[in-house]
């Protein structure tokens, strides 16, 4: 990777003297900041921008570390072969016209993949805008040269962006508005070879990067990607394109990327400590905030003090915080007493703290600094949201001393800024230089605060864990079935396998006669359930194959005879102990094409599809990770003992999920697993219905 980021010499294949051509922009951008040797390549010219121009890559006399290719797509494979012949280790192909265009372009891209496999050369792209390093002033891209009018502002956030033009738009927007600086911006396009996982690994090790923002339409090596996220000491924010069906189609046509089930991606990112965002500006703002507060574990409760110059703005801020799962801090008595000294007697001290009466009485410097120093010492306050105005209202003052006090106390500080354009932009840059993210919208301020708190919670509750994989040994006949069988196993056999794997299941017995059914009912105790298990019938209740609340021998005999007539001699009838409980859960296993074995958990029973409240865990995981993800369910209050119900034994459910993951990893023949529902009895989840599907 280092040859891409710090080459000693670069060839520009497709260089042009025409300012309207991308080959000219690449060459011009290199000349502005790159200090190595530059070789333009184009057989039409002897010299471009005062540099000697070569007819082909093979005519260059010296060694070349990196080639940037910007020629029509059909010419690219032969040029890359020549680069390999020249001994160039890496090529950035910025040309479009490959897999994103259809079958012909896909065939051209496959040629590039084959060249990589046969020669060992590395290819970045195609269909990308290359690499920008603001700290070194490297622009290896056809990015519009107007970026130099604003200057490349160095920063600590690095970006990986799958869309080429979007990467360019990011940079122009960032630089022209002075919103933030960047370290590196990497546009990866179609990912024929170099992908986001390799670049993520590079940036995690990069000393000039403190936070990473990513826009992705697919994830190539999903398991490795999540392992890197979970191990990274640097926070990572991800915007995933292709969440909806329409979005997935757009991703396919744009960069030939296959978007998977987003519920799996969302949960995988959450499990690995990455923060998911919903739009492009949010990605930038959240990445900037995370770079300033990368591991704010002390703020994990999210108790916030709002210091404002406007009562209305304070109320709206409180609404946004609550909507994002944060809360207003209950100010301590000590803080209230300090604030009373600067407030007029008629003004009560509450949070949000409307400082305007104190500003009128004491001036902005005393009012704000006193309040900030007080909440810095308040044990009930985890973080602070400042409301600032620049350009008037006597609110221009030095905040460094107070901000330093908050930072020493481990309390993140965020600012919402109003004001006239010129003053506000200057103030934003000054405040951000003190380590405070400045936002221009209250909703976005709440979004960034939520992201910092989520990262802090993950660090404090989960941390950088690498769980081990345990092999579950089943009896030989069951192991053989899972290795050689096909299709759906019936409920009774599925639950036998689960029980052997240490997963609690309901007591039940397969029966062949009414008398056997009665004997089973006596042994379990009434009431009981009788089920007919027919091949390839998944939803038994809808087919009339479940009889519940059987309380007498006569009811059991009658139900058996009716069921036997319904299903015939080729299928199975079982009698189950009836489990009473109001809370129902669902758990299952899928094999995701990006992440492998994933275990799902959520609210079950008839509400499964109605609530659609579920999380996924990428296996292997441990009980700590499982508990953390269970706590992310929207309906978690039900599990905590809603309206007098006994709370779920979360540790026990976490152990079940871990065992399910180990079972699926131990036996690759398991394609899917569905346990719906687990009925919670006395706090313990018991599987009463289950199906295992083999490949």
- The pLDDT confidence band at residue 587, using thresholds 50, 70 and 90, is very high
Tokens of 549: 């609340």
Task: Report how far Cα 691 is from the mean position of its chain's Cα atoms.
Answer: 30
Say whether 377 sits in a helix, a strand or coil: helix
Say whether 138 sits in a helix, a strand or coil: strand
Q: List b or e across 133-169, with b for residues whose CB sees 16 or more CB atoms inside 10 angstroms.
A: bbbbbbbbbbbebebbeeebbebbbbbbbbbbebbbe
Residue entry with tokens 């090596």: 221
CA angle 612, 633, 227 (to 5 degrees): 105
Start-to-end CA distance of the chain, whole Å, equals: 39
List Cα–Cα distances, 206 to 65, 211, 602, in angstroms: 20, 10, 38
Tokens of 62: 């010296």
- Mean pLDDT of the 522-542 span: 85
- The pLDDT confidence band at residue 175, using thresholds 50, 70 and 90, is low
* pLDDT of 635 higher than 90: no
Q: Work out whether strand 66-69 and strand 90-93 pair parallel, antiparallel, or are unpaired.
A: parallel
Question: Quick check: bond before 352 cis, omega within 30?
Answer: yes
| Cα 673 from Cα 538, distance rounded (Å) | 12
* pLDDT of 253 higher than 50: no
* Longest alpha-carbon distance in the chain: 100
CA angle 651, 657, 660 (to 5 degrees): 145
User: What DSSP character marks residue 468?
Assistant: P
Least confident of 269-283, 378-392, 538-552, 681-695: 538-552
Catalogue the E-assigned strands of 82-134. Answer: 90-93, 122-124, 130-133
Which run of H or of E encompasses 387?
strand 383-390
Count of Cβ atoms closer than 10 Å to residue 51 Cβ? 17
| Cα 60 from Cα 57, distance rounded (Å) | 6
% of the chain residues with pLDDT over 90:
75
* pLDDT of 208 higher than 90: yes
Query: What global pTM score does this model have?
Result: 0.90
Alpha helix ranges (H) inside 462-534: 476-484, 491-500, 514-524
Question: Quick check: bond before 126 cis, omega within 30?
Answer: yes
* pLDDT of 536 higher than 90: no
Q: What are phi and psi of 230, to 5 degrees?
A: -70, -30
Concatenating the DSSP letter of every residue in 55-66 gives SSGGG-SS--SE
Per-residue pLDDT tens over the stretch 317-372:
999 999 999 999 999 999 999 999 999 999 999 999 999 999 999 999 999 999 99
Q: Are 23 and 130 contacting, i.e. CB atoms less than 8 angstroms apart?
A: no
| Cα 229 from Cα 609, distance rounded (Å) | 31
Residue entry with tokens 């689960």: 498
- The pLDDT confidence band at residue 249, using thresholds 50, 70 and 90, is very low
Q: Work out whether strand 37-41 and strand 9-13 pair parallel, antiparallel, or are unpaired.
A: parallel
| Cα 667 from Cα 233, distance rounded (Å) | 33
Q: Work out whether strand 596-603 and strand 614-618 pair parallel, antiparallel, or are unpaired.
A: antiparallel
pLDDT at 392: 66
- The pLDDT confidence band at residue 258, using thresholds 50, 70 and 90, is very low
| Cα 104 from Cα 100, distance rounded (Å) | 10
User: What DSSP character marks residue 99?
Assistant: G
Tokens of 464: 């950088």
| Cα 255 from Cα 249, distance rounded (Å) | 10
CA-wise closest residue to 303 among 378, 413, 381, 376: 381
Residue entry with tokens 């059909």: 74
CA-wise closest residue to 210 among 242, 234, 174, 192: 234
pLDDT at 419: 85
Say whether 158 sits in a helix, a strand or coil: strand
Say whether 225 sits in a helix, a strand or coil: helix
Q: Are 324 and 450 contacting, i.e. CB atoms less than 8 angstroms apart?
A: yes
Concatenating the DSSP letter of every residue in 37-89 gives EEEEE-TT-SEETTEE-BSSGGG-SS--SEEEE-S-GGGHHHHHHHHHHHT-S
pLDDT at 535: 76
What count of residues does the chain have?
695
- The pLDDT confidence band at residue 241, using thresholds 50, 70 and 90, is confident
Task: Report how far Cα 206 is from the mean position of its chain's Cα atoms.
Answer: 21
Count of Cβ atoms closer than 10 Å to residue 580 Cβ? 8
CA-wise closest residue to 365 among 353, 355, 375: 355
Q: Work out whether strand 584-592 and strand 670-681 pair parallel, antiparallel, or are unpaired.
A: antiparallel
CA angle 649, 651, 655 (to 5 degrees): 120
- The pLDDT confidence band at residue 165, using thresholds 50, 70 and 90, is low
| Cα 689 from Cα 492, distance rounded (Å) | 9
- The pLDDT confidence band at residue 121, using thresholds 50, 70 and 90, is very high
Say whether 502 sits in a helix, a strand or coil: coil
């Amino acid at each position: 990777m280092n040859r891409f980021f710090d080459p000693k010499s670069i060839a520009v294949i497709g260089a042009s003297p025409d300012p309207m051509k991308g080959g000219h922009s690449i060459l011009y951008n290199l000349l502005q900041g790159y200090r190595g040797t530059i070789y333009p390549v184009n057989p039409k010219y002897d010299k471009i921008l005062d540099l000697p121009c070569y007819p082909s890559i093979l005519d260059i006399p010296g060694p070349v570390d990196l080639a940037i290719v910007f020629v029509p797509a059909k010419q690219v494979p032969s040029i890359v072969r020549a680069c390999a012949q020249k001994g160039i280790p890496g090529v950035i192909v910025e040309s479009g016209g490959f897999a994103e265009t259809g079958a012909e372009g896909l065939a051209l891209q496959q040629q590039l993949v084959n060249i990589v496999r046969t020669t060992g050369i590395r290819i970045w792209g195609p269909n990308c805008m290359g690499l920008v390093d603001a700290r070194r002033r490297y622009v290896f891209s056809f990015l519009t040269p107007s970026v130099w009018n604003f200057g490349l502002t160095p920063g600590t956030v690095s970006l990986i962006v799958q869309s080429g033009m979007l990467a360019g738009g990011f940079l122009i927007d960032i630089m022209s508005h002075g919103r933030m600086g960047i370290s590196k911006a990497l546009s990866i396009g179609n990912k024929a070879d170099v992908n986001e996982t390799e670049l993520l690994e590079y940036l995690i090790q990069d000393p000039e990067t403190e936070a990473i923002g990513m826009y992705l339409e697919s994830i190539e090596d999903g398991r490795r990607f999540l392992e890197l996220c979970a191990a990274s000491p640097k926070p990572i924010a991800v915007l995933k394109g292709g969440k909806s069906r329409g979005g997935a189609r757009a991703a396919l046509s744009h960069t030939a990327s296959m978007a998977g089930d987003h519920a799996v991606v969302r949960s995988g990112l959450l499990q690995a400590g990455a923060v998911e965002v919903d739009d492009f500006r949010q990605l930038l703002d959240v990445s900037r905030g995370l770079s300033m507060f990368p591991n704010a574990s002390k703020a994990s409760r999210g108790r916030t003090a709002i210091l404002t110059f406007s009562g209305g703005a304070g109320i709206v801020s409180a609404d946004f915080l609550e909507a994002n799962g944060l809360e207003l801090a209950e100010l301590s008595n000590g803080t209230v007493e300090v604030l009373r000294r600067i407030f007029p007697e008629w003004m009560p001290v509450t949070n949000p703290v409307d400082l305007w009466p104190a500003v009128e009485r004491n001036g902005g410097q005393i009012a704000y600094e006193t309040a900030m120093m007080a909440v810095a010492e308040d044990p009930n306050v985890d973080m602070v949201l400042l409301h600032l105005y620049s350009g008037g209202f006597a609110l221009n003052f030095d905040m460094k001393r107070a901000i330093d006090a908050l930072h020493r106390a481990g309390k993140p500080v965020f600012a919402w800024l109003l004001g006239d354009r010129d003053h506000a932009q200057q103030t934003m840059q000054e405040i951000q230089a003190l380590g405070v993210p400045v936002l221009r919208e209250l909703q976005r301020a709440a979004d960034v605060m939520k992201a910092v708190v989520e990262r802090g919670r993950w660090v404090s509750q989960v941390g950088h864990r690498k769980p081990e994989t345990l092999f579950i040994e089943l009896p030989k006949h069951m192991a053989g079935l899972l290795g050689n069988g096909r299709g759906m196993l019936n409920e009774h056999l599925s639950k036998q396998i689960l029980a052997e794997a240490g997963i609690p299941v309901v007591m039940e017995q397969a029966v062949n006669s009414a008398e056997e059914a009665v004997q089973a009912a006596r042994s379990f105790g009434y009431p009981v359930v009788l089920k007919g298990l027919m091949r390839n019938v998944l939803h038994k209740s809808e087919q009339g194959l479940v009889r519940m609340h059987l309380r007498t021998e006569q009811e059991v005999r009658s139900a058996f005879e009716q069921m036997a007539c319904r299903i015939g001699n080729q299928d199975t009838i079982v009698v189950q102990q009836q489990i009473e409980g109001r809370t129902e859960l669902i758990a299952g296993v899928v094999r995701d094409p990006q992440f492998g074995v994933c275990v799902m958990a959520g609210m079950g029973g008839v509400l499964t599809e109605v609530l659609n409240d579920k999380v996924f865990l990428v296996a292997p995981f441990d009980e700590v990770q499982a508990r953390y993800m269970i706590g992310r369910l929207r309906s978690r209050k039900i599990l905590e003992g809603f309206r007098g119900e006994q709370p779920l034994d979360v540790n026990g459910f976490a152990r079940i999920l871990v065992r399910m993951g180990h079972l699926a990893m131990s036996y690759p023949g398991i394609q899917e697993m569905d346990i719906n529902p687990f009925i919670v009895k006395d706090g313990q989840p018991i599987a009463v219905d289950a199906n295992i599907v083999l490949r």
